[in-house]
Each structure stands twice: as structure tokens, then as C-alpha cells.
Structure 1
Amino acid sequence: ETSLLEYTVPGRRLPCLNIFPGKPTAAVGAFVPHPDVGVDDVQRSRMLAIRGAMQHAWSGYETHAFGADEVGPVSGDRKQDVWGGLGVTLVDALDTLYIMGMARARDWVATELDFTHLGKDGDNISVFEITIRELGGLLSAYDLSGDDAFRARAVELGDLLLPAFANGIFYTQFNVFKQTKTMNGWTGYRGLLADLGTLQLELRRLSDVTGNPIYAERGDAFYDIVQREGSYEHTGLFPVHFEVESGTFSTSNSLITIGALGDSFYEYLLKVWLYSGQRQSDAFLRDLYNDAVQGIETSLLRYSKPDDAYYLQEVTIPGFSGQPKQDHLLCFVPGMLALGTLTDTDPARVVKHLDMAKKLMKTCYNLYSRQPTGLAPDIVTFPGFAVADSRYRLRPETVESLMYLYRVTKDPMYQDWGWQIFKAIEKHAKTSFGYGAVLNVDSAAAAHVEDKMESFFLAETLKYHYLLQSAPSFVPLDKFVFNTEAHPFRTRCKLKSTNAAVELSMQFPNRLKIPLVLVLVALFVGLQIYIVSRLDISPTADRSFDAFSRPRRWKPSPSPIAVAQKSAAANFAPRQKFIPLPHEGVDETQIARQDAIRRAMQHAWSGYETRAFGADEVAPVSGERRQNVWGGIGVTLVDSLDTLYIMGMHDEFQRARDWVANELEFSHLGRDGDTISVFEVIIRELGGLLSAYDLSQDNLFKAKAVELADLLLPAYEDQVFYTKLNVFTKRKSMNHWTHYRAFLADVGTLQLEMRYLSDITGNSEYAEKVGSPSIGDAFYDVIQREGSYEHTGLFPVHFEPDSGTFSRSDTFVTIGALGDSFYEYLLKVWLYSGKRADDLFLRQLYDDAVAGMEKHLYVHSVPDDAYFLQELRIPQMEGTPQQDHLLCFVPGMLALGSVGETNATKAAVHLDMATKLMHTCVSYYTRQPTGLAPDLMHFPGFDVLNSIYKLRPETVESLMYMYRVTHDPIYREWGWAMFEAIEKHAKTTFGYGAVRNVHNLTDAFIEDKMESFFLAETLKYHYLLQSAPSFVPLDQYVFNTEAHPLRMNRQD
């Protein structure tokens, strides 16, 4: 049990729980722990260390106090009856043991756990503690394992507790034998808010697993009181004391707090709502929660300026006098706020709640980091973080919130904070027989370990530490709700329809299940036939933008920008901020893969940010700053903006955004005499700025894009642009190594960016031939005037700027390097512009080009059973049987072109070509021992002509399109194998580098070069491949040739 490898067998996708009235939930199968899926070596080693701590704590308990309530961690004493002699540490730890792969306690529960002695000694039990620890532990063990022994014991215990309820509440102290009940004397025999409002989740779960509604009814009765009484002076908050006799909340000699005595009531308003499938009948819980958070912000949230810290004060009532103190229990709040954002549909509220969560999280972490032991006191006062209670009781609340904050924001800082806390526990709280509460955390010299290890240390603290370092797909938040003792319960299914037939099928599933499915399928098929026949819309088109912009986390509110008044922008549509929801519609496997790809992006970005922030590139091996590769304009940063945004790397995006706002400037360009590549600057820098604007709706990016584009205008002349431009002197030229000729791919690949810029600014100058100079679309006039080479539909790669014609000698035709993206943009500009009649020529040019490919370039290598696209020398029309990696964008282009194609024969031919070429491109990778593709191949034999893998994106780009069009999961599997090869062979200290000699494992060598397109394209396409087609959907976005998504603005 020293390795996680024995616990990595993937479980099947976890279902939610459909609940049928009066029936127990059907068995859903055991949860199979596979904790090291989706984590890197650092997280894996941390998880092993945390698991080792659990083994140490469990060993002390198992050896010295097995079956007792607690073990003395210093003395090893058996503490039989702390909570009633119910083996509370054992039962409370069951799910932690299971999750960590240490299942050794089940037999004791089945054969030794006994409740018959309760109360015979005259003692009462704490109904609250027994419910959250013992009942919760049994229910969670059942949920995870599917073992009915746990459910049976849970029912037995639940039935024993029912008499503790009366008059809509339960009594805190209960003698099971005598059936007597009372409140705690130290509360003045009043009920406590946290007690009365924290059993509803467990009791609802018990009703669901048994089909007996009585448990939920007893628990929910208190919610009737809450709604009847209302909050204190309409603040959304409730006094912590409840008067049993009058059935009302105390309005004197009480207080309001989200900490001790009040805490978990507010937690359960949210969690019961989430557990129950967010049903309309429970919407009052969501409303109570939102009102409470508003009250927290208004009445309790305070800022200690000397400490730069936000905290939540206590308020005494009456008088509403604030006390500037905060206890450790209150540190669950950041996690609660973060969890609440996952299903909130109000974007403004989401931003506000998450901001509060982050601020309070920082304060809670500082409770630890400010102490010499690195452990938190139980109570502090402000200002000064003054210690009022110096004990660290092994409490879980801070690491609990860190787990939620990490899973919601994906910021690894929270994992690192948690790791520091864990190391401090190991250093100061570890004993011979477990871990003990630490006295005097504010003095390393006087720190002393108490002989007390609460069961929640095993049930909560270590579990949350373990989950914090795990992938978010491990015990995921959309499938489980954790009770206040960290026991995960599987959630109910969320109702997706209020259709009467659907509701009827839930009540009578056996009779109506099959007929309803058939009816729904028939309706769907009929609808698709109608759409295709009447509306000319392909049923395969991905029209899911509405779905992907709704739950789980945010629902964008309309945020229209001003529509430009010029005619060129007349069709410009108002747009909304893009809200990334990458985990929507994917299973655990894809989520784990997404997380791994996101970590690769974090690794590459971290190397750049720490070593070369603002420079054009970072050297991935040496870490050198390469300031001026493309002009010294932060190309890697700008090229990566939309990848950061799409992957939800919010803090990284914000830092990059601030650099663009404060540091990005173009005034130096050309002053050193150097020229820039207009093509590269437009697709990488201008495209990056435009996409960042499109996704975020931050006008800063639009302003910078306009500034850059205006500087590039002098590069255009006579319907083409010149490849090299000195921005300062305005001198322009073509590359000398092309004999001062232009390339087809260069001059035919800027139209998308220029049209988009015209649309968002209302300035037609960028896109259309209006006045002087002629920009963008002007080259399409040349194309139509000149026509294709010998009516093949294909064009030579060289263009003579002096004559304004295509070269007819010493040139060639290819869909690969030098020609590639011209053909790509014929299709994409057509799609972007809404398939306008004025642009029909672009679709015709594209179709003619594909026909030319099939006739003149598409070759079958019989020995390899592989199809490839040859190069064609002209004027000889001689084929060269080679294909470069750049050409592997073609399968994706063909697949994209088949969507919405009204000619069924043509669509089938194009998709067949795409499938065959895709096989060849994937074979580039699979035939090499490194699993990486060479840059150039020769046929037959897949002979390697250039053995370098340059981190290129074209193959995974096509895999993404092929998956989204065909929905065949083989394309995802191929992409994942490629990603794993990149991780294995291209990863360096400061990023990822190009790999030489991909055909030789022993001589593979990483170059000190990481192109910006690796972050902009390769990793983005890998991420999107493993995402649902509704995430950045193809019917809403067109990707420029640098993978920058631009929203389609012009519609038919």
C-alpha cells in the first residue's frame, strides 16, 4: 500500500441518482478509486505522503483502539465512549479509507457495530454529531462501495434517532434507551442554528436510499420554520439561538455569525439544493442561500486595513454590534462561496461571490502562514491577527475551502498552500499513535501536542488534503455533495425537462420507459428531417452555443457593444462575453485529459512567465529570454491569450492582460532597421488580440488590434501586401530568397482577420476595396481575374508582384507549405461571413480546389495503403511523392467543409478523403518510435526526409474537426496518444521544445526552441479535442490559421 498504482483501475462514468417517489434508489455500482489519473508527479508524490499520514493515523487507532470512539494519539489510550461508544473514528473514516484504497474496516461495521447499548448508562448522545459523523459515514460508505451492509446500519441508526424530533426540530441531547430529549444546558436550553439546520442532507439521503420519506420530512420541517420566521430584520441572516418553547429565533442575548454555532446551516442551504437536483420545489433553499450571502457581504464582511485582510465579524443582537473576531470554523466559507458559483446563472453574482471567496481564502491561509509553527489558531481578532485561542485542533475548514477554490479556479496556488499546511501538520502534530491537537501555535518553542485526535481529522482534514492534490475529476463536484463532515453523497439527477410525459416516466419508469424513448427518438428524427428539407440546415451542424453558455457555472448576460454605423459593419451582431465551461458534456476520462493538457499549458506558460514575460519567446531548455524574434512585441504572450482564457487560467490571463494594457507598444518597430513579417504578425499578434477581444469583450484588446493594423496598412499595395515591412521607414519588400516573389499562403491568409477587424470597428478599409489603399479582399479580385492554373482549381505558390500575376515557371502547386492556408481561408472566410451571396465565389473556389486536389494531388501509395497529397511541379505538371506536416490541416478543412454541404455526394466524397488523409497523418506519429511526427515524409515507405518534430498543430487540429463532425472517439484516442508522446519526449524545464530525430529513441534531441504556436494552437486543439463539440462550437466560431477563434458576425 505504498503505491497508488494498484488503485488506478478506471471506474465507469458515475451516474446521478434518479429518484422515484416511494422507491429506494437503484444500486449504482461501486465507485472505483483511480486517484492518480490526471495528476503530475508532484501531485502524485503529495498524495502518497497524505495517504501515508492516513495510514499512520489509522494504524495508531487500529492497533490501540479499534472499534472505540477515539485513540489517544500521544498515550495510545483506548477512548471507548466519547460519542456513545459507536466506533465513531472508524465509521467516520470509512470513506477516506475507501477513497485512498485502504478498505479494511467493513467487517467490523457488519459484525461488531452495535447500537443497543445506547442510553443504558444514562448518558445522552449528541444527535448532531452522531448524524454528521456516524450516519453520514455509513451513508457515504454505502454510496461509494454499494455495500448494503452500510445502508442497513444507516437505517438502523436513523430509526433510533427519529424520536429526537418534535415540533419541527430535533433535540440536541437524546437518550436512546429512555427516549428522553433536551437541549444543551450551556445554551440556556435553546436550540442552535448550526445543529437544527445541518441534518437535512443526511436525512434526505436516507429517504432516497430507502424510499421512506419520513426521514426527509422530519429534517425538512425546520425549513418550514425558517421560511415562516424569516431572517433577522430582513438581513438574510439568522440568530444562532432558537427558542424551543415559542418556536421562534432568539432576538435577545444572541448573536449572528457564520462561524461556530451558525456555520453549517448556511452551508446546507446550498448543499441540499445541489444534492436534490436543483428542483423547483427546493428553489427556496437557493434563494435563502443567496440572501444569506448578500447579508454576509453587507453585515459581516469587514476589511482590516493594517492587515490588508478581509474577515467575517460576529454581530451581537439586539444592537447589531460587531465583534472583530473570526474562528477557524468560519474558514469553510470561501469553499462554500466557490461551490455556489458552479451553478449560479447570474454572472455578476458569480464574480462577486468568487471575489469574496478569494479574499477570505487568503485570510484563512494567513491564519497559518503568520504563525511560527505554520498552524492556525482557533480564534483571532482584528486588526493584527491577534491570537485569542492558540490551539490548532486539526480542523479541516481551511483545506476544505482550498479544495473547492482549486477545483473551481484551477489555480495551483491553492494546492501549494494546502501542501504547506500539510507539512506543518506533519512537523508539529504527528505523534506515536496518530496526530494530536497542537497548543500554542504562536510559539514554536512552546508548542505542545494534546492527547486528542478528533475523528474529523481522518474523515475531513486528511480527505480534503488528498482531494486537493487530486484531479477535479476524482470524486467530482458535479456528482457528489459533501456533508459537513466531508462525507460525499451522490447527487440526484437534475431535471432537464418539466414535460409531463417525462415526469410521468419518472413516477412509472417500468411501464413508460421504452415507449417514451421511442417517441422521443421519433420526434427528434422527424424534426431533423423537417429542418434539413425545409430550412437547409445540416443535422450534423453544432448549434449548441445556448447550451454551453448556460449552466454549470455562469449564464452570460447580454453585453452588446455599439454597432458601427458604417455600411461595412451593417451586419455586425451584438455579442456576449464567452464563459468557458470545458467540463460540460464530457465524461471523467475527458475531464482527466483536459486537466492534463491544461497542466501542460500551465507548465509552458510558467516557463515563459518566469523567464521571459513580455518577450517574443522563451528558450525551453536554457530558459533564455528571446526578446526579438517577431519584432519584440510579446508574441508568445499575445498568441496565448485565448488559450489561457479558454482553459480558465484566469489569473494568468489577467496578468497577461495587464501586460498588454501597460507594456505592449509598437512604437519601436523598425527603428533598429529590422523588418517584420507581416503575415506572421497578423496571424499571431493581430489574431491573438482580436480573439482575446472576442472572448472577453475587453475593449483594450480591440484598441491594441486597431493600433497594430493601422501600422501595417503601408504594407499593402496593388491588391497585395508585401511580406516584409519596416514600420518606421514604411519600406516594404518581398523575401529575397523567393526571388522577391510573394507566397500564395501569405497573400491569401489575412482576409479573415481583416474582415473581422472591419466588422468590429465599422471601418471597411481593412477588409474591402474602398478608397486607398486596397486591403484584404482585394487579393480575391486578383484570384478571380487570373483564374487557377490550367483550370485545375489550384494555384501556383508564387505570385509576381510586378506583373500582378501568378508565376508560371520555377514554381509548384501544393496544399502544404507556401500554399496551405490560402485554401483554408477560402472556406473559412465564406463561413465567417455568413455565406453571403456576395461571397459565393469563395465557396466555389474552395469546391474547385478540392476537386483539383482529388484529381491532381490525391495519390494512393499501394505498398503503404496510404493516401497523401503530392506536390506538383509546373509547368511540367510532374508530381513529387512527398507530404509535409503542415499539409495535415487538410483533413480538418475537408471535414469542416462537409458540414452544411447541400450536395450529399460531394459531402461524402470530401469526408472520405478527409478520413483517409487523417489516417496517413496519424501514421506519421505512430510509425516513429518516439510517437512524434517528422516534418516531411516521402512515399512509398513513409521515408523520413526531415526528422524534426516542431511542436506543430496541424494533425491534432484535424483530429479536433474530425471528432466534432463524425463523433468517432477514435480521433480522441489518437490525439491523446500524441499528447502523451509530447509529454514524454518534448517536455523541458521551461516548457516544451522541438524534437530532432523522432525516428531514433536513443538519439532524440530537444532543440532550445518553443514556437508561440505550441501554446496558441497545439495545446488549444488538444484541449478542444477532449472537450464537447458544444464548447467553442463550430457553428459559432471560425478559427484563424493560428487557432484564434473569431465569432461569426455576418448572418444570412
Structure 2
Amino acid sequence: MISLHSMRRKLWTYLLAVILFCLVLSYCNIPVTSRAHQAEGVSAALGDDDTQSVWRRLQPYHPVSSMRPLPTGKPLSLPKVQRRFGKESATACKVRLERQAVVKDTFTRCWNSYRARAWMSDELTPVSGSRRDPFGGWGATLVDSLDTLWIMGMRHEFDEAAAAAVNITFDETTPLGEINVFETNIRYLGGFLSAYDLSGDKRLLRKAREVGDMLYVAFDTPNRMPITRWDLHAAARGEDQVAHENVLVAEMGTFTLEFFRLSLLTGDGKWFDAAQRIMDVFYEQQNTTQLPGMWPIVVNAKKQQFNQHNDFTLGAMADSLFEYLPKTHALLGGLLPMYREMYEAAMHTAAKYNLFRPMLPDEKNVLVSGMVGTSRTESGTVTELRPDGQHLVCFAGGMFALGGKLTQNDDHVGLGEKLVDGCVWTYQAMPLAIMPETFNMLPCPNRDHCAWDERKWKEEVLKKAGEQASDLDKADVVIAQKRLPKGFTSIGDTRYILRPEAIESVFVLYRITGRTDLLESAWAMFQAIESNTRTELANSALNDVTVAKDPSMSDSMESFWMGETLKYFYLIFSEPDLVSLDEYVFNTEAHPLKRLLP
């Protein structure tokens, strides 16, 4: 028989255990969510001691009074993204693996040159063999390449690089007067998180937290909006700071993937809170802008006015804000419906106003994404399409295709296909088979049918050149001087800077549709880029892709060449289950992060 004293003792023991558990849970700030990602946060937090970080010791001027909680519940079963690929023929497999090996050889050559001549610096200069430090001097190429090394199976090189990367000190000793918080987030934080998600090396997660602690200080402003071009020296001295009035919208809205993933992995919700505060403002003001559904290029972070300016684009300066909407929906397993809602509203507007069918000599039915300007009149808001094409906006094809699969919107997948086809067409139309940075085309009156009109094209060429549109005899001179292929009315920036966006969307669309012509397009793109950018050491950006041969080089190789461009070329020639889009989302620097799955 159990005594009353014994029963009381057991009861008190049980209550004490419950109290201790609750205290530990509160102290660690671990959200009570589904078992899968609760356990992930607990295990990752064990042994993670960053108390010596200069950024963690700083006392905030504007502490958060109430944290936004991490989303709870079981992640949803979102629609499958990737096509179910059938058995590959022996011939197709042989060709694919041969191409993959060539891509890997190019990466290995670049990596070895970086290791020999610019180790721990941000960039190798691929012609002169020197080094540059435009991103804080924290080894941008090293960190950006960690996950590429892992994906390519270069384990020895990965181990060496990881050992070096964990010794980088992210503090105020950088020689830069200010850092770009956006670039630091996508390259360094994204790079460490991805390398951890792929390898499980907890040293890399600790490094991610160190970067996250530094970036979090940029959010210490009266309204908790970040300073995107940040004087971290002043912040380290403990000076007060205020968000800026004119901020590029991409630099404000590109934190969710990295910050949310860091909070999920560590169990510390401060990064989720920081990024979610920004997105709450975007959400609240989405339908109050001059082009409802989209946000303008420039926003006022100090006053939290995200709806005042009048230029709208999916391209440069806005791109990744829109890119992250469907990807955040996927990362969180649909636990915050606002991201799907924002994506659908934004793309409804972009599809209507920004996308246009260009008039082409072969009358191919493709799409390009341009800029829209708005003006207010007595009769309402007037919109004007500026048919400005950009290499950077080629990401949009993959975004539409991915978003379409996640939201079961076949129309969006179709738009994605036409956007990707437009970028492939632009590559093929240029003398070097490489797309320039920026260009202009002539929009068709509608998307259904668009016959080629040479006279109309030449008139538009003359207008862009500042000449009389009626002087058609002069059009041929302008076309020859500016080396304009048919279909292009001007080429504003003739450079190619080793950009990844076109192959990124070709890769995403291939994984979604299985279109084999995309493999051939990817291979043609790679061959053109490799043959024209190759130096004795690595690969260099080009000054002018409108020349027929021997393009001049700018002696620049940004970290995204090895972190993004070559990664996507490698992955499109890999088996589809390598970094599956049903398991990962890529941040805007091509760093794959694990999705929450049911």
C-alpha cells in the first residue's frame, strides 16, 4: 500500500520536473511547434555558445518589447514542384555526365586559382591574378562556394574551406566604411546556413549565428526597420542609429529565407521577428501603392511608407523581394498564408502590366519583363510600360514556374516558360550567344499574334538613338554602329558579368517540366560563356557582348560565378534528386535551404 507521504513526494517531484522544463523552454526561447522542427531547434542549439561575439554584448537602444512568435503547427503538404522523371537512357546519361564533368572542371580550375592567389579574400581578379575585397574582406568567394563544393562532391576541398571559414571574424575591423546588409545576408548568412543544411557541420551553424548577430544590430532603430547601408563601426561604438528614408525595396525585403531559417535552426526567434516586422508592413501596404499588388523600387524605411514612389519592376533593385514570396511560403511549409497571398497579388499585377511580348524577326512567342512607371491624373492613375530588358530579371521565369507549382496555378507555370524562352532567345540572338546586362525591345500590341515589321523596328531604333523616326536611311547606320541584332532597339549596357539568372531559371523550369530542349539550351549557354570568358586562371566578366569575337575582359569574377552560375550549370546536368526543389528552396545567392516538411 502506497503511503500518503510517498504520494505527495511523487507529486512534488512531478510538479518540479514540469516547472523546470517550462523554465528551460522559456529560457531557450524555443517555440512549441511540430515535433520535427522543435527537435531541430533544440539539437542545433546545444553547445552553441557565441557569448564572446562583440555584437551579442551590445546593449540595444531600441529593444523589442514583444516578439512575433515563430509559426506553429504541422507544415502543410504543399503541391509537388519537381516533375517525376522516368528512366534515363544510357546515351542520355552518358551525355549528361560528360557535360556535368566539364562544368565541374571549370569550377575546379577557378577554385584552385582562388585558393592559390586570393585565399580568404572576397574575390580573385581572373586576368591579373590579384585580389579584391568589396564585401567586407570576409572571404565572399570562400563562403559562397561552400555549398557548391559539397554539391559537387569535393569533400576534401569542402573540409579545408569550412575549416578556414569558421575562423573568419565578423566584427567592426572590416576596412569598409559601411557594409551592404543585403549582400552580407544573402552571401555570408545564406552561405553558412546552406553549408550547414547540406553537411550538418555545426561549426557552420555557429558561424551563421555569428553573422546573424552582427546583422541583427542593423535592425536596432526606433521602428526596428533595418539600415541597409550600415556603418557597423558606429554601431560597434554603441551609437544610436535610424533607418534611412530612401531604400531599395529589394534590400528591405530580402531577409525572410535566411532569418527564418536561422531562427528555426537555433530556436532563437529574434531573427524571425526582425524579418517578419518588415514583411508585415509590405503586407499592409501592398494594395495601397500606385500599382496595387506591387511595391515601388524605393521605399521610406524611416517613416515605414512603402507606397509613395512610382517605378515598378521585377528587375534590379526590386527582384528578390518578389522572388522570396513563394520561396518563403515553401520554406515555412505554408504555415503563414500571407506569403502565398502576397505572391499571388504581386504576380497578378506584374503579369498584367510588366510582362510584354517583344516583336521578333522569327515571331517567336516569348515574354520579357519590363519597367512600369505610373503618374496620377485627374482621371486616375496612368501606367506606362518601359520595355527595358535585363539579364538580372531572367530569374522571374523560374519564380513564376515555382510559384505556379506551389499554388497550383498552371497559368503562372506557362508565363514562366515564356519568360525563360525569352531569355534563351536573347542569348541566341547575340553575336557571342551571351545576353547583355540591359537592352530594349519593341512590345507587341498584344500577346496573341505579333508579325515582324522591319520598318516599325527601325523607326524605334531611331527614336532610341535620338534621331528622326522618318529618316529610315540612317537606321541602318545606327544598327551597324550599335551592333543591334534584329529585335533589339537599343542595348544600354553591353557587359556580361558572369550572371546566373538565366541558367537559374532554365534549371528550375527543367526540374518542373522535364523539357529536354532546356538541357540543350543550358549546354549552349555554358559553352558560349566558358569559351568567351576563360582566362589563364579562371573566368572574367566581359565588357561588350555585342562584338563578334575577342571580347575585352574587365578582370572581375564576382563570388556568384562559383556560388551561383556554375552551381546551376552543374545541377541541371545532375540527377533530379540532387538538391530537390521539393526539399530545398534556393536563396537569391543560390544557397539551398531546407524546407519545413510534414
When normalised by structure 1's length, the TM-score is: 0.43
Q: Is the 8 A contact 2:122 2:139 kept in 1?
A: yes
Indicate which of 867, 879, 882 corresponds to 2:388: 882
Partner residue in 2 for 1:979: 526
Partner residue in 2 for 1:819: 318
* Counterpart mapping for 1:466-865 below 5 A: 562=43, 568=70, 587-626=93-132, 628-661=133-166, 663-670=167-174, 672=175, 674-716=177-219, 717=221, 718-730=223-235, 740-768=245-273, 775-788=274-287, 789-790=289-290, 792-806=292-306, 808-809=308-309, 811-836=310-335, 839-864=336-361, 865=363
Question: Partner letter of residue 714 of structure 1?
Answer: V
Partner residue in 2 for 1:1024: 571
Shift in Å, 1:777 = 1.0
Q: Is the 8 A contact 1:963 1:972 kept in 2?
A: yes
Indicate which of 514, 519, 527 corresponds to 1:967: 514
Q: Distance in 2 between matches of 1:764 and 1:1019?
A: 34
Query: What's the CA shift string for 1:130-166, capped at 9, x where partnerless?
Result: xxxxxxxxxxxxxxxxxxxxxxxxxxxxxxxxxxxxx
Shift in Å, 1:727 = 2.3
Query: What's the CA shift string for 1:458-508, capped at 9, x where partnerless?
Result: xxxxxxxxxxxxxxxxxxxxxxxxxxxxxxxxxxxxxxxxxxxxxxxxxxx
Q: Is the 8 A contact 2:121 2:141 kept in 1?
A: yes
- The DSSP-based 3-state class of the residue aligned with 1:729 is helix
* Counterpart mapping for 1:52-71 below 5 A: none
Q: Is the 8 A contact 2:100 2:573 kept in 1?
A: yes
Shift in Å, 1:802 = 2.8
* Structure of larger gyration radius: 1
Shift in Å, 1:732 = 8.6
Indicate which of 1009, 1015, 1018 corresponds to 2:562: 1015
Indicate which of 918, 943, 948 corresponds to 2:495: 948
Q: Is the 8 A contact 1:872 1:879 kept in 2?
A: yes
- The DSSP-based 3-state class of the residue aligned with 1:877 is strand
Shift in Å, 1:781 = 1.1
Q: Structure 1 residues 749 and 560, CA, compared in 2 at 3 Å: closer, same or farther?
A: closer
Question: Partner letter of residue 825 of structure 1?
Answer: Y
Q: Structure 1 residues 999 and 841, CA, compared in 2 at 3 Å: closer, same or farther?
A: same
Q: Distance in 2 between matches of 1:679 and 1:609?
A: 26
Q: Structure 1 residues 1036 and 623, CA, compared in 2 at 3 Å: closer, same or farther?
A: same
Shift in Å, 1:747 = 0.8
Question: Partner letter of residue 511 of structure 2?
Answer: R
Shift in Å, 1:687 = 0.4
Q: Structure 1 residues 1045 and 1028, CA, compared in 2 at 3 Å: closer, same or farther?
A: same
Question: Partner letter of residue 541 of structure 2?
Answer: A
* Counterpart mapping for 1:240-639 below 5 A: 562=43, 568=70, 587-626=93-132, 628-639=133-144
Query: What's the CA shift string for 1:673-719, capped at 9, x where partnerless?
Result: 61111000100011000111111100100111111111111211324
Q: Is the 8 A contact 2:225 2:302 kept in 1?
A: no
- The DSSP-based 3-state class of the residue aligned with 1:821 is helix
Shift in Å, 1:559 = 11
- Correspondence 1:867 to 2:367: yes
Partner residue in 2 for 1:400: none
- The DSSP-based 3-state class of the residue aligned with 1:879 is strand
Q: Distance in 2 between matches of 1:632 and 1:1022?
A: 27
- The DSSP-based 3-state class of the residue aligned with 1:945 is strand
Partner residue in 2 for 1:936: 438
Shift in Å, 1:563 = 6.4
Shift in Å, 1:791 = 5.8
Shift in Å, 1:862 = 3.1
Q: Distance in 1 between matches of 2:290 and 2:194?
A: 38
- The DSSP-based 3-state class of the residue aligned with 2:385 is strand
- The DSSP-based 3-state class of the residue aligned with 1:767 is helix
Q: Distance in 2 between matches of 1:666 and 1:908?
A: 44
Question: Partner letter of residue 972 of structure 1?
Answer: L
Shift in Å, 1:797 = 1.0
Shift in Å, 1:873 = 1.4
Q: Is the 8 A contact 1:937 1:944 kept in 2?
A: yes
Q: Is the 8 A contact 2:434 2:545 kept in 1?
A: yes
Which of structure 1's runs of 4+ aligned residues deviate more than 4 A? 558-561, 563-567, 569-573, 731-735
Q: Distance in 1 between matches of 2:298 and 2:410?
A: 32
Q: Structure 1 residues 908 and 757, CA, compared in 2 at 3 Å: closer, same or farther?
A: same
Q: Distance in 1 between matches of 2:118 and 2:100?
A: 26
- The DSSP-based 3-state class of the residue aligned with 1:1030 is coil
Q: Structure 1 residues 892 and 990, CA, compared in 2 at 3 Å: closer, same or farther?
A: same
Q: Structure 1 residues 616 and 734, CA, compared in 2 at 3 Å: closer, same or farther?
A: farther
Shift in Å, 1:1028 = 2.1
Query: What's the CA shift string for 1:257-288, capped at 9, x where partnerless?
Result: xxxxxxxxxxxxxxxxxxxxxxxxxxxxxxxx
Q: Is the 8 A contact 1:572 1:759 kept in 2?
A: no
Q: Structure 1 residues 887 and 973, CA, compared in 2 at 3 Å: closer, same or farther?
A: same
Question: Partner letter of residue 855 of structure 1?
Answer: K
Q: Is the 8 A contact 2:340 2:407 kept in 1?
A: no
Partner residue in 2 for 1:992: 539
Query: What's the CA shift string for 1:428-487, capped at 9, x where partnerless?
Result: xxxxxxxxxxxxxxxxxxxxxxxxxxxxxxxxxxxxxxxxxxxxxxxxxxxxxxxxxxxx
Q: Distance in 1 between matches of 2:351 and 2:157?
A: 45
* Counterpart mapping for 1:12-27 below 5 A: none
Shift in Å, 1:977 = 0.4
Shift in Å, 1:939 = 0.7
Residue correspondences, number: 465
Determine which structure has greater relative contact order: mean sequence separation of CA pairs < 8 Å that are 6+ residues apart, divided by chain length. 2
Q: Structure 1 residues 643 and 657, CA, compared in 2 at 3 Å: closer, same or farther?
A: same
- Correspondence 1:1034 to 2:581: yes
Pairwise CA RMSD of aligned residues? 2.5
When normalised by structure 2's length, the TM-score is: 0.74
Q: Is the 8 A contact 1:950 1:994 kept in 2?
A: yes
Q: Structure 1 residues 918 and 849, CA, compared in 2 at 3 Å: closer, same or farther?
A: same
> Which is further off, 608-617 or 705-714?
705-714
Q: Is the 8 A contact 2:291 2:312 kept in 1?
A: no
Q: Structure 1 residues 841 and 570, CA, compared in 2 at 3 Å: closer, same or farther?
A: closer
Q: Structure 1 residues 1018 and 781, CA, compared in 2 at 3 Å: closer, same or farther?
A: same
Q: Is the 8 A contact 2:290 2:307 kept in 1?
A: no
- The DSSP-based 3-state class of the residue aligned with 1:872 is strand
Q: Distance in 1 between matches of 2:505 and 2:181?
A: 26
